[in-house]
Structure 1
């Protein structure tokens, strides 16, 4: 056997055999075996926790991006210098720019909405059916009713949470109040109108489901008075007593939009696309704001939180690595006579180091692989586990009012999983070095003196 320990292989069969014996518990070594098992469990819990938490945070970010960019464009284009009456020509030109997937125009305003005794502030967005069909998240999110024949519906679409707040259902009326109404000699009178609820949508994001209301484009333009009556060529101004028919015959009503949303092929390529849009699009001057600017603080906070959580949870693995050190030191102390016998039989210091390195690393490897499997299983079933625990405890875990989303998303990143596994294996190996070195320093004469 000593000859094996001096072999040319990095880890000889003899060393693996001795390390395996040390890993298997005997009756008199039960305490050391329990410590090693608990250390293994600690490594597994640390790895699983890191994988689950990072997967949930990745899923949270990806889901938020999908929801936010499913309704709001990667760029929002605001007109300058002139009123936005050429909105159709503008988005037609924008969609010709290479890298632009599509563009939509819209009307937007803030109002007070009231239903069955309840009132709340909402954002009204006016869009026509053609543009709504471009937004898959909204078009496919209609839980009750639908957007077919939307332009002629004269109704509104609201989120299901807003419907609950207002106490209304499909077919009920919602009254909206705009303080910037008609101008009179006595001041401004609020604009008050009632619309039937023709669509109730569920987008899975609290902000959209609670505070957004959609109207047909022309209804919204009329409501917010985003139009001008322009005298037709050859017509003379009419007197104030003219009838509506005379006004319609003499004037053309020119509508305008509030802004346009631009959706690009690669949402992360906003810097290059901004330069491209500014150079290739020359139809009219526009001010561009991208989604990263609009959500800079929010997503920066998410990124900082990911780094901090990774650092903090890595401490669990570090603590488990220290447990490997303590359990190996106890094992070395217990096996001092065995080490002395091996040394007298010809085992080298390097062979003794490798034996205890294999023993400690095996604890880390088994714990890491167990944690990997457990973490991947939990991450893949995060939402069902959340729902089960919530039902069992009778409390809402991750309430959507706080976390924006109605479900717990999870997205496992193979690169991050690899980093976690390598971190655990690296710390486990480093933890074996000092105890293994101490074992190799044992003097066989001193160790056997009192045997």
Structure 2
């Protein structure tokens, strides 16, 4: 194929004024459709990626990403801990207690997910420790029975700093002649955290040793480790390696997928479905490319016949019209990419000027533009558009010069 000649002729046809005004309108509609589809796809995918990343940081930074439990106290704790820290994707680990409990205030009662941690490990739960007001994790002192609640949970219990909350745990239940009696203690509220995620409604932190006492276990023993990762999605690749570290000691490993896996799967599915729906706009625009090229083939039948009599091959004729259709796709794609990226980068400012607040007053939409997503959108658009040019190009290649020029 003479690519230079084919490109030149295809470009000339693309630039030439169509004799059929309807064909010009269809071409404009096709370019506009690709432009709107690409721009919308970039904006929506950037916002969805930002929301997913925000959930990942806030939610998975507040709950155990991976938990190691043993029936008996962990032997050779320091040695095993150092081996786990050296595994890939592991940022750190800390002794932890996780139990479901009931929190009772003078006015109401609510279920709570209770975590016991040492204050020295506060930097590992930065998503919580950096959003405590007032106070800090350092206020959790062993034997003082202090507690830090999520903001929504504190409002639900109607308690404020300095007031007491009674915790009842089923893990420390004892049996008496009158029936099972749960373990319970009063804790003083010393801090409230607001992460902006759903953990604010049901998570509480106490000192590790106080949590052990609440569940009627030895405060000095450790049979549960909380592992922190640089990427929570890597939990599955670590399980076998962690089991090897514990060798013969029986261990159970759970991760965030058991509690929040379906939630993140729903967010990911929503992201994919939105992308699929917006991709249909590009698909419709591709059909318009077919329509405009078919009209162009009819309009240029005589020109094609003359070119074929001059020795232009079938492949070259197809190339002329495929190039012409590709120019339409490239024009719409470039415009869509530029406008989509610009709007995404300035989306919160644009919404502010328009007086629109999607997440509420004072909150902005998280926007994350991923380079590989832009690449996929660009390649996908060009591929769909190129496929759309095949049928009109084949129709042009089938033009017979004798029949086309018979009445000229």
Pairwise mapping of residues 178-327 of structure 1 onto structure 2 (< 5 A)? Answer: 178=168, 180=170, 185-188=177-180, 193-206=185-198, 208-227=199-218, 255-256=220-221, 259-264=224-229, 267=232, 270=235, 273-281=238-246, 284-292=249-257, 296-299=261-264, 309-327=274-292
Structure 1 residue 340, shift from structure 2 partner: 5.2
- Give the secondary-structure state (helix, strand or coil) at the position aligned to 1:148: helix
Structure-1-length-normalised TM-score: 0.73
Structure 1 match to 2:26: 35
Pairwise mapping of residues 62-101 of structure 1 onto structure 2 (< 5 A)? Answer: 62-80=53-71, 82=72, 84=73, 90=77, 93-97=80-84, 98-99=86-87, 100-101=90-91
Among 144, 150, 153, the residue aligned to 1:159: 150
Q: What CA distance in whole angstroms lies between the structure 1 residues aligned with 2:46 and 2:6?
A: 39
How many residues are aligned here?
401
Structure 1 residue 335, shift from structure 2 partner: 3.7
Structure 1 residue 341, shift from structure 2 partner: 5.9
User: Cα deviations across residues 319-363 of structure 1 (Å, max 9, x unaligned)?
Assistant: 211110011112333344554566677766555433322221111
Structure 2 match to 1:236: none
User: Cα deviations across residues 13-49 of structure 1 (Å, max 9, x unaligned)?
Assistant: 7515522433xx46x6443222211111111222233
Q: What CA distance in whole angstroms lies between the structure 1 residues aligned with 2:179 and 2:350?
A: 58
- Give the secondary-structure state (helix, strand or coil) at the position aligned to 1:95: helix
Tell me, yes or no, if the aligned pair for 1:177 and 1:190 is still in contact at 8 Å: no
Structure 2 match to 1:415: 372
Unaligned runs of 5+ in 1: 1-6, 228-253, 398-405
Tell me, yes or no, if the aligned pair for 1:58 and 1:410 is still in contact at 8 Å: yes
1:300–1:338 Cα change, 3 Å: same
Are 1:329 and 2:294 counterparts?
yes
1:192–1:73 Cα change, 3 Å: closer
Unaligned runs of 5+ in 2: none
Q: What CA distance in whole angstroms lies between the structure 1 residues aligned with 2:384 and 2:110?
A: 54
Q: Which moved more, 1:181-190 or 1:42-51?
A: 181-190
Structure 2 match to 1:109: 99
- Give the secondary-structure state (helix, strand or coil) at the position aligned to 1:151: coil
Greater C-alpha Rg:
1
Q: What CA distance in whole angstroms lies between the structure 2 residues aligned with 1:271 and 1:17?
A: 53
